Amino acid sequence: MQFAKGHGTQNDFVILPDLDATVDLTEARVSALCDRNRGIGADGVLRVARAGVLVEAGVLDVLPDGVAADHWFMDYRNADGSVAEMCGNGVRVFAHFLRASGLESEAEFVVGSRAGARPVIVHAVSGATADVTVAMGRVRELGTSTATVAGREFTGLGIDVGNPHLACVSDELTAAALADLDLTSAPDFDASFFEHGVNVEILTPIRDSGVDMRVYERGVGETRSCGTGTVAAAAAALRADGRAEGEVRVRVPGGEVVVTVADGSATLRGPSVLVASGSLDESWWSSLGR
Ligand SMILES: N[C@H](CCC[C@H](N)C(=O)O)C(=O)O
């Protein structure tokens, strides 16, 4: 079975072209594939198929709002095998792969996700790297909540970007102090507020139209970047700055993206790199739990 490997600001993914949607993508298989010792290693898996084919195969029960049967659909899985509604870095890599593989001939098209339709623009491709903008849809504020990281309580803004986030803007936090924060363990959070878990972002306030952010992702752990997380972080940082909209450069350990929030919706622009492609050993793949 063919695969490709790519990343968006070092949030990395195994891409599985599965145009007939015949691959049984069990949790055991996804977690093996994402394991950095016994598999290829990644933060998540992106299965590539058209939305209607995934409905016919029973992978999707119905077409999500705004997603048409002929739209390419990013069937996203976290490294632990769990399904998530949306992946902002993943959509950039997914769109880049479609263009680079010739599956998509247009530079502007719609990618379907469980959170709905996500229009993309693949601005330019140079070698292994592309510059991609994703329309990330509505950014919905959920109210304030807290998370405890390394014994320290942070207050944040719950934000729905199709998936759940708690974006904690810490006024006195410097980029250096953020880098020193111990994020090796999962933050404690209010499970009654976030019934389906949450991605937790810790970030500095806006300085020179930018923020520094780190993230502990639901279903993965600390990642070097989280695209939906950068959108949540930008929205929370703007709110903390007394603004409902604006453009924010979000620096993450894996690089930098630009988030624009306007009229309650956001766009995310950043790089995608396609690192490699290859084939999975069939006997290895079939030996994994069903
Ligand atoms: N872990 C996230 C999904 C991946 C999000 C992240 N990789 C991104 O780029 O948005 C969740 O369970 O909601």
- Alpha-helix residue ranges (DSSP H) falling in the chain: 27-34, 51-56, 88-100, 175-180, 227-240, 282-287
**Are 156 and 111 members of one domain?**
no
pTM of the model: 0.98
- What is the CATH number for 239? 3.10.310.10
- Kindly state whether residues 196 and 213 are assigned to the same domain: yes
- Please check whether residues 7 and 60 belong to one and the same domain: yes
The rounded distance, in Å, linking the Cα atoms of 75 and 61 is 13
Query: What pLDDT does residue 289 have?
Result: 72
User: Which positions ≥6 away from 82 have C-beta within 8 Å?
Assistant: 27, 218, 219
Ligand 1 atom, smallest distance to 43 CA: 7
Name residue 38's amino acid: R
User: pLDDT tens digit string along 202-258?
Assistant: 999 999 999 999 999 999 999 999 999 999 999 999 999 999 999 999 999 999 999
CA dihedral 178, 183, 215, 223 (to 10 degrees): 120
Indicate if 114 and 187 belong to the same structural domain. no
Tell whether 131 and 147 lie within a shared domain: no
Q: Is 163 in the pocket of ligand 1 (CB under 6 A)?
A: yes
90 and 17 housed in the same domain: yes
Both 49 and 154 in a single domain?
no
Please state the domain count of the chain: 2
Residue 226 designated active-site: yes
- Angle CA(52)–CA(219)–CA(112) in degrees, nearest 5? 20
Same domain, 65 and 131: yes
Q: Does the model's ipTM exceed the 0.90 cut?
A: yes
Tens digit of pLDDT for each residue in 130-140? 999 999 999 99
Say if ligand 1 is within 6 A of residue 81 CB.
Answer: no
Has 37 been labeled as part of a binding site? Answer: no
**145/121 same-domain check:** no
**HSE of 170 in the Cβ direction (CA atoms, 13 Å)?**
25
80 and 156 inside one domain: no
Q: Are residues 128 and 150 in the same domain?
A: no
Indicate if ligand 1 lies below 6 Å from the C-beta of 160. Answer: no
Token look-up 């790089």 returns 271
Give the three-class secondary structure for 17.
Answer: strand
Co-location of 146 and 256 in the same domain: yes
Range of the domain at 95: 2-135+272-287
